[in-house]
A and B are shown apart, each in its own frame.
Chain A
Amino acid sequence: MLSRTADHLYWMARYTERAENTVRMLDVSYRMSLLPGTNGCDTDGWSAILAISELSDAFARTGRPLTPRDVIEFVVLDRDNPSSVWNCLRAARENAHAVRGTLTAEMWETTNATWLEIRDMTPEKLQATDLGEFFEWVKFRSHLLRGVTFGTMLHDDAFKFVRLGTFLERADNTARLLDVKYHSLLPRAEGLGSSTDFYQWGALLRSVSAFETYRHVYRDVITPHKVAELLILNAAMPRSLHACLDEINDILGEIANLHSAEAARQAGELHATLHYGRMDDIFATGLHAWLERFLVRINRLGDSIGDNFLVPVAA
């Protein structure tokens, strides 16, 4: 397939996944802000949202106060914030538009309809909307596109580039979420088992749809150590780093070309770290240091995929 087509498909999937994970993060902060005792003014939580996506500086430049409403507007709707949900869904749709002939009719219509619905959203309209419902809607549209892709698209190379984008973005986003949330929650860890703590960790798990999963896997109280283990090493947990690298590694094996040895090597190495890694070793390194290193490596892998497949030099 055309490299440019692969590039558009890959980015369509990445932007859709990013929009979904952004609202997952917002949703957890929003739910936490509704907990008794926080008065909705948990500024740590809201600044963490910005830190996760490396948006703290950009937000500061807008001169907005650090209120839930301002952060949500900035992260969801701001036209000048390239990572806002609005911009992600626009970019997903533009990438889809550029290759709509490669998409099935259902995929195109799903992406296009999502964009048409959010296109005219304004801060006023967002205020008038039930935020929880809006976040659900974004997640639902992302689920729908993924399902429609899986259920209608020929499982050929085009499909694999879509999936590659999804899992690369997800690995990045899960690592960021865990990194920032883990550290903003840890100071409370002394009161482990307190009800506030339970809700905080519970909200983090819910943001990756893993609350019941946790119960099912551990049949135990929620501990930070086990939350990290579930989101990093558990290969059966679809949003874990291990699960994402399983997919990425397999896909890179299937789409290999004469120039893709470097991407395959990096993915294989990263995959081995997760496949054979142990939580004790990760904690010995320091979770934050480990996750930072992971983010650097996943982004390098993204660059190699770009070089090896998406914009190859004329041979």
Chain B
Amino acid sequence: MSADSTMTAARPFDEMHAADGTVRAHYGPYADWLEQMPRENIARKRKEADIAFHRVGITFNVYGEGGGKERLIPFDLLPRIIPGDEWSALETGLRQRVRALNAFLADIYHGQEILRAGRLPAEQVLNNAQFRPEMKGVEVPGGLYAMIAGIDLVRAAGADGKGEYYVLEDNLRVPSGVSYLLENRKMMMRLFPDLFSRYNVQPVEHYPDLLLETLRAVAPAGVLDPTAVLLTPGAFNSAYFEHSFLAQQMGVELVEGQDLFVKDDTVFMRTTQGPRRVDVIYRRLDDDFLDPEVFRPDSMLGVPGLMSAYRAGRVTLANAVGTGVADDKSIYPYVPEMVRFYLGEEPILNNVPTYMLREPEDLAYTLAHLSELVVKEVHGAGGYGMLVGPAATRAEIEEFRARILAAPEKYIAQPTLSLSTCPTFVDAGIAPRHIDLRPFVLSGGKEIRMVPGGLTRVALKAGSLVVNSSQGGGTKDTWVVN
């Protein structure tokens, strides 16, 4: 596989400015507004936003910092704006991709047609640590596995100067970030109400309603008025704010493992009025921790007997157990093939060309081009365990080379995408910073739905391509405008 040279163009695509420096049409009204806005007003608004976020306690906990420290996720006031027609095309592509991913999960836990057809190497799936044999033959409501999917998109400059979207990663386990999307919009409307009169910004505030409908739609058959709960690992989890926020917005109980128990394959929660039945669990807990009787026996976070109730069809887990096999980086290269195999359609969204280092040819190419490539751990997440070749020192590259050689099957490599940039407020004024986009795609019942746009993450360090909040990334409000 050869790297697509257009993707590594020296000059990244900028969302606001065309190559000749002119402002793109959809940013026109914003640029006019910004020009009239005194800089000190912006500084004041930044401070106001900071104080508000702190007081509300919109924080995340950082792993690896002693005592589960709470930090604010930096918020940038300059919105990322997406024209409506561009979003419509993306939306169609996202629906297609998520439909294919769910079909794939249903298939590999049942007939395994795609393996038998030889469209995907069987050992890639069956030997994958994320493949859960416990799920074989288990019927899930609607045949849906990933009810909540976060699909990471990036945009790179094409040869014609247009930006081309690529799927960087599918998140089908417990994707997070939607609370920032909602809080960012609330903050922007509070700080700059006049801006919203200049633009017809598509609303996103109904996400919790869509999510609740999704959860209720996948309740076990025969339950008329299902009770849904949100299962959190607890207040020390990095995404606890989001768990609490979503439970409150949906009006469902926020439960920890200790609040639930299983009796006769039925899940109950402990309430002040005695046990109450639970039908759907939106779990924000990894598979490994769900049930100490089946997975990690040392897990204090899960519920003993939960898997038994789940397999008996007495409770629905969203997302299903075992979705990790479909968003694994070693499976990612085959997603376009899934679209063709299950839907008989051509994929609408692009994949990033990927070298699989378990293949000798790809390994050799990668080792020879480490300084140009991004190398990722197949099972890594959150921007950890990753080498960004062009930004790495010689010593870092050599250290990573040794790690790759020790276990090549654990790594994939991709060309360093020149992620698109968006102007961002920085100490020195306004400067372009790299961004990505994570739309949240909900599958429940007949429809696949999402709120327009998604969460835009921004790498606040100049030149950095790592947008993860744990690595110094921030967020922006994302506007889909008509």
Chain A residues lying within 8 Å of B244, measured Cβ to Cβ, are 100-101
Question: Please, what's the 1-or-0 string for A2-37, where 1 marks a CB less than 8 Å from any CB in chain B?
Answer: 111110000000000000000000000000000000
Number of A-B contacts (CB under 8 A): 69
Q: Is B274 an interface residue when CB atoms closer than 8 A count as contact?
A: yes
Are A312 and B248 touching (Cβ within 8 A)? no
Chain B residues lying within 8 Å of A259, measured Cβ to Cβ, are 274
Are B57 and A2 touching (Cβ within 8 A)? no
Are B270 and A101 touching (Cβ within 8 A)? no
Q: Chain A residue with minimal CB distance to B253?
A: A2
Q: Which of B235, B253, B274 is within 8 Å of A315, CB to CB?
A: B274
Chain A residues lying within 8 Å of B255, measured Cβ to Cβ, are 2, 4
Contact segment of B258-266, B369-377, B391-399: B258-266
Q: How far is the CB of B436 from chain A (nearest CB, A)?
A: 29
Are A113 and B55 touching (Cβ within 8 A)? yes
Q: Is B271 an interface residue when CB atoms closer than 8 A count as contact?
A: yes
Asked, given contacts A314-B263, A314-B275, whether A101 binds B258 with beta carbons under 8 Å apart, the answer is no
Question: Please, what's the 1-or-0 string for A238-281, where 1 marks a CB less than 8 Å from any CB in chain B?
Answer: 00000000000000000101110000000000000000000000
Most buried by A among B235, B258, B259: B235
Q: Which of B54, B55, B57, B270 is within 8 Å of A3, CB to CB?
A: B270
Q: Is B272 an interface residue when CB atoms closer than 8 A count as contact?
A: yes
Are B247 and A309 touching (Cβ within 8 A)? no
Asked, given contacts A4-B259, A108-B57, whether A257 binds B248 with beta carbons under 8 Å apart, the answer is no
Are A116 and B54 touching (Cβ within 8 A)? yes
* A90-104 at interface with B (beta carbon < 8 Å): 94, 97-102
Are A257 and B245 touching (Cβ within 8 A)? no
Q: Which of A2, A102, A161 is within 8 Å of B269, CB to CB?
A: A2
Are A4 and B245 touching (Cβ within 8 A)? no
Q: Complex: how many Å from CA A312 to CA B255?
A: 15
* B20-55 at interface with A (beta carbon < 8 Å): 54-55
Q: Is B328 an interface residue when CB atoms closer than 8 A count as contact?
A: no
Asked, given contacts A97-B235, A101-B254, A102-B248, whether A2 binds B259 with beta carbons under 8 Å apart, the answer is yes
Q: Chain A residue with minimal CB distance to B262?
A: A314
Asked, given contacts A101-B254, A116-B54, whether A2 binds B270 with beta carbons under 8 Å apart, the answer is yes
Chain A residues lying within 8 Å of B248, measured Cβ to Cβ, are 100-102
* B208-261 at interface with A (beta carbon < 8 Å): 234-235, 244-245, 247-248, 253-256, 258-259, 261
Q: How far is the CB of B414 from chain A (nearest CB, A)?
A: 39
Chain A residues lying within 8 Å of B270, measured Cβ to Cβ, are 2-4, 312, 314
Q: Complex: how many Å from CA A105 to CA B261?
A: 30
Q: How far is the CB of A53 from chain B (nearest CB, A)?
A: 27
Q: Complex: how many Å from CA A314 to CA B270?
A: 7
Q: Is B2 an interface residue when CB atoms closer than 8 A count as contact?
A: no
Q: Complex: how many Å from CA A105 to CA B56?
A: 7
Q: Complex: how many Å from CA A30 to CA B343?
A: 78
Q: Is B268 an interface residue when CB atoms closer than 8 A count as contact?
A: yes
Q: How far is the CB of B332 from chain A (nearest CB, A)?
A: 34
Are B263 and A3 touching (Cβ within 8 A)? no
Chain A residues lying within 8 Å of B274, measured Cβ to Cβ, are 257-259, 312, 315
Q: Is A236 an interface residue when CB atoms closer than 8 A count as contact?
A: no
Q: Which of A4, A100, A116 is within 8 Å of B258, CB to CB?
A: A4
Q: Which of A97, A98, A101, A315 is within 8 Å of B245, CB to CB?
A: A101
Chain B residues lying within 8 Å of A116, measured Cβ to Cβ, are 54
Q: How far is the CB of B227 from chain A (nearest CB, A)?
A: 12
Chain B residues lying within 8 Å of A3, measured Cβ to Cβ, are 259, 270-272
Q: Is A212 an interface residue when CB atoms closer than 8 A count as contact?
A: no
Are B272 and A98 touching (Cβ within 8 A)? no
Question: Please, what's the 1-or-0 string for A97-125, where 1 marks a CB less than 8 Å from any CB in chain B?
Answer: 11111100100110011001000000000
- Chain A, interface residues (CB within 8 Å), range: 20 to 34
Q: Is B273 an interface residue when CB atoms closer than 8 A count as contact?
A: yes
Q: Complex: how many Å from CA A257 to CA B274?
A: 8
Question: Please, what's the 1-or-0 string for A272-302, where 1 marks a CB less than 8 Å from any CB in chain B?
Answer: 0000000000000000000000000000000
Are B57 and A100 touching (Cβ within 8 A)? yes
Q: How far is the CB of A258 from chain B (nearest CB, A)?
A: 6
Chain A residues lying within 8 Å of B269, measured Cβ to Cβ, are 2
Chain B residues lying within 8 Å of A312, measured Cβ to Cβ, are 270, 272, 274
Are B259 and A314 touching (Cβ within 8 A)? no
Q: Chain A residue with minimal CB distance to B235?
A: A98
Q: How far is the CB of A158 from chain B (nearest CB, A)?
A: 9
Q: Which of A101, A112, A257 is within 8 Å of B247, CB to CB?
A: A101
Are B57 and A112 touching (Cβ within 8 A)? yes
Q: Complex: how many Å from CA A260 to CA B25?
A: 67
Chain A residues lying within 8 Å of B253, measured Cβ to Cβ, are 1-2, 5
Q: Chain A residue with minimal CB distance to B270?
A: A3
Q: Chain A residue with minimal CB distance to B244?
A: A101
Are A309 and B272 touching (Cβ within 8 A)? yes
Most buried by B among A97, A101, A257, A309: A101
Q: Complex: how many Å from CA A85 to CA B234?
A: 26
Chain A residues lying within 8 Å of B273, measured Cβ to Cβ, are 1, 257
* B44-80 at interface with A (beta carbon < 8 Å): 54-57
Q: Chain B residue with minimal CB distance to A308?
A: B272
Are B275 and A315 touching (Cβ within 8 A)? yes
Q: Chain A residue with minimal CB distance to B263?
A: A314
Q: Chain B residue with minimal CB distance to A100?
A: B244
Q: Is A157 an interface residue when CB atoms closer than 8 A count as contact?
A: yes
Q: Chain A residue with minimal CB distance to B247?
A: A101
Q: Complex: how many Å from CA A309 to CA B273?
A: 8
* B85-118 at interface with A (beta carbon < 8 Å): none
Asked, given contacts A109-B56, A113-B55, A314-B263, whether A1 binds B275 with beta carbons under 8 Å apart, the answer is no
Chain A residues lying within 8 Å of B54, measured Cβ to Cβ, are 116
Chain B residues lying within 8 Å of A100, measured Cβ to Cβ, are 57, 244, 248
Q: Complex: how many Å from CA A105 to CA B255?
A: 20
Chain B residues lying within 8 Å of A109, measured Cβ to Cβ, are 55-57
- List 9 extra interface pairs beyond A100-B248, A314-B270, CB under 8 A: A1-B272, A3-B272, A102-B248, A102-B254, A109-B55, A109-B56, A113-B55, A116-B54, A315-B274
Contacts from B to A (Cβ < 8 Å): 54-57, 234-235, 244-245, 247-248, 253-256, 258-259, 261, 263, 268-275
Q: Which 7 A-B residue pairings sit nearest by Cβ, starting from the closest?
A: A101-B248, A101-B244, A314-B261, A3-B270, A101-B247, A98-B235, A309-B272
Q: Could you list some 12 contacts between A and B, CB below 8 A?
A: A1-B272, A1-B273, A2-B270, A2-B272, A3-B271, A4-B255, A6-B272, A94-B235, A100-B57, A101-B244, A101-B247, A312-B270
